[in-house]
């Protein structure tokens, strides 16, 4: 996602990254950026500090609360204090706005490599963590089905009954497995916090954003709306029966 108030900059970067194989989302304002985070879950964010009506550092902090994707800050003036503030506020990188597109691309690819390695390591440790917190392993190889969907076990893809693949992030899949293991029961926010977010803050807000993304991925393929329901001050559950697919 490219966050910049300058339409020309957004369009140029969007066209460049699209040309090298990326899907680019563009946001001119803080509100547009937060909306895209909730709907599209971009894998990386490029943001200019100069945004209309909002402090760029505050927006970085808000984005970080809602996403663990890498954040690269672009700044017209390279200022050491601004760089420190941006990095301490949640950004992962800080570069001059006038750098060549190929240099920015190199930063993007480097950050994505690190992010993907970290995500793989997190996914690999989920079973051990769930044993300690939930009292049983949420086996990623265990296949299950619910409504119009089948999880064949292993990987990040859910499938519909007609074979269409629905790509999920490691966290989204872990959350679905947690709901599936507690079919027709609300999973408490405390358990979601420990199992999915490992004690991070703003769990209810983060989970709400993730559930919105999951609904947007799942509900076009089912008549069950909402397929994931929330009971305030209690937790979340799948609104359908879950069966073993083995």
Instruction: State the average pLDDT over residues 175-180.
Output: 88
Range of the domain at 175: 126-244
Considering its fold, how many domains does the chain have in total?
2
Q: Which of 81, 105, 122 is the endpoint of a domain?
A: 122
Q: Interhelix angle for 30-40 vs 203-218, to 10°?
A: 60
Give the pLDDT confidence score for residue 126 in this predicted structure.
Answer: 46
Give the pLDDT confidence score for residue 131 in this predicted structure.
Answer: 41
**Residue 229 CA, distance from chain mean position:** 19
Same domain, 132 and 235: yes
Give the pLDDT confidence score for residue 38 in this predicted structure.
Answer: 76
Q: Give the residue, 139 or 26, on which the prediction is more confident.
A: 26
Question: The domain spanning residue 202 has which CATH number?
Answer: 1.10.10.10
Q: Alpha carbon of 38 to those of 42, 44, 54, 181: distances in Å? A: 9, 14, 19, 26
φ and ψ of 2, to 5 deg = -110, 120
Same domain, 130 and 236: yes
What are the tens digits of pLDDT across the range 92-126?
999 999 999 999 999 999 999 988 887 666 555 54
């Amino acid at each position: 996602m490219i966050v910049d108030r300058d339409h020309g900059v957004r369009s140029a970067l969007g066209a460049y990254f699209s040309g090298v194989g990326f899907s680019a989302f563009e946001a001119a304002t803080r509100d547009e950026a937060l909306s895209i985070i909730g709907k599209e879950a971009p894998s990386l964010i490029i943001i200019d500090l100069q945004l209309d009506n909002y402090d760029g550092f505050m927006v970085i902090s808000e984005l970080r609360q809602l996403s663990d994707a890498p954040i690269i800050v672009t700044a017209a003036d390279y200022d050491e204090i601004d760089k420190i503030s941006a990095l301490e506020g949640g950004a992962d990188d800080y570069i001059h706005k006038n750098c060549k597109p190929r240099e920015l691309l190199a930063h993007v690819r480097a950050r994505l490599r690190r992010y993907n390695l970290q995500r793989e390591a997190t996914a690999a440790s989920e079973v051990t963590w769930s044993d300690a917190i939930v009292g049983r392993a949420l086996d990623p190889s265990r296949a299950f089905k619910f409504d119009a969907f089948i999880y064949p076990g292993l990987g990040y893809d859910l499938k519909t009954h007609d074979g269409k693949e629905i790509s999920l992030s490691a966290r989204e899949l872990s959350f679905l497995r947690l709901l599936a293991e507690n079919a027709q029961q609300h999973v408490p926010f405390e358990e979601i916090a420990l199992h999915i977010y490992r004690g991070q803050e703003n769990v209810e807000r983060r989970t709400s954003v993730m559930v919105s993304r999951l609904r947007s991925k799942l509900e076009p393929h089912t008549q069950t709306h909402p397929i994931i329901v929330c009971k305030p001050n209690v937790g979340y559950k799948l609104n359908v029966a879950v069966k073993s697919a083995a």
